Amino acid sequence: MKSYFLAAAILFQLTCALQSKLTRRNFAITTATSLVSLVPESSSSLTPPLSPTVQSKMSSKLLSPRPAIVAVIGYTGGVGGCLLSAMDRIGLKPFALVRSSTMQIDGSDDMPVDFTELGKRLLAAASKEGGTPIIADVTASSIPQEHYKDWLSQGISVCTANKGIFAGPESKYQELLTATKPPTRLLYETTVGAGLPVLGTISSLRESSHKILKIEGILSGTLAFVLGAVSGGKMTFSDAVLKAKDLGYTEPDPRLDLGGIDVARKAVILARLSGLTGIELTGLDVESLVPKPLQDCSVDEFMAGLSAYDNDFAARVASIEKNPGNRLHYAAKVDVVNKKITVAPMAVDASHPFNSAGPDNLVAITTDFYSPRPLVVQGAGAGGDVTATGVLADILECTRSM
């Protein structure tokens, strides 16, 4: 009986793990009635089937999420505050709160930040409570990322909106993947498209035998707004940038948005997840919308001098739009087949998915099965709440790992 029970339990775990991997999130198994059918028929005459009570207890033990023991790094920031609110809405209390110089652990008073000690305390609490130790990093700092590898190797899952290390040197990125051993997870869905299910979709497609051929993305809400405003001659380029700045859509220095580097970082993340290797941010040819003579001046001088380039930009837009329905969008294109990445203003014809994006982020994924019509993921690609709830979804995914 003992050997039958053990074999059945192992087969059940394997079946659940396979089904969960294929269907990804929002998947649940409610019964274990198929357990007996997994055992060879010849053995059923030797050992009686498991009772419904035993089956129910096994299913509950194997499938119930483990408690999340979460340390939130960056809780005082915009996304951090939204994450704490989201966690509160589902009754998930953070175990530790960390900011730039101090941290609180399990309700303690502020103490100096010590990421090594944080990891030890997380592991101890998870062991005591039978939970899953998780770091949630919602900063833009490189300092917490220096500890990702150690945390992962110790069995602490990492959920992050911090894209730096994932778009940085490929060797560092590969070290993280090597350090991540199941059931530990490294989830960074919100580094591209905030809460949109972009990275998870790409991973699921590859795992289910799709060959990724091409990924195209409008990945900056700021640049989508600016190029949407100049389309059809509605506004000049300088006026569109000024309006975006006044509305708070840009960084205090709009050149940080117009330069395209943030889009390039996201393109690197998409390329690596698609299976490309040898991709480095420093090797990309990124076309900036900032005129060269204005790259190094003050912000005030940049804003004052931008109007001198309005006519040239308007002519560029008009040359594209002379064909009905054609539009100019600032986008990233990952050509997996030819191992080429483009980050620049792109002209597309009337039928292209980009033309329905509006102010949203939009990612079009072309595979050997989704071709010629790509699979499209579209929605708000920025904002504290959508980013925070995306991180929270990753946290919950960690607790479901088996």
Instruction: Rounding to the nearest 10 degrees, give the CA dihedral for residues 336, 338, 343, 346.
Output: -100
- Per the structure block, which two tokens stand in for 10? 């192992």
57 has catalytic annotation: no
Sheet with 327-335, side-by-side order of all strands: 340-348, 327-335, 212-218, 361-367, 375-379
- In whole angstroms, what is the distance from residue 82 CA to residue 389 CA? 8
Q: Which of 61, 214, 266, 322 is catalytic?
A: 266
Q: Which two tokens stand for residue 250?
A: 């840009």
The residue written with tokens 């602490």 in the block is 156
For residue 284, what are its two tokens?
């990309």
Torsion of CA 331, 335, 341, 344, to 10 degrees: -30
Residues taking part in catalysis: 266
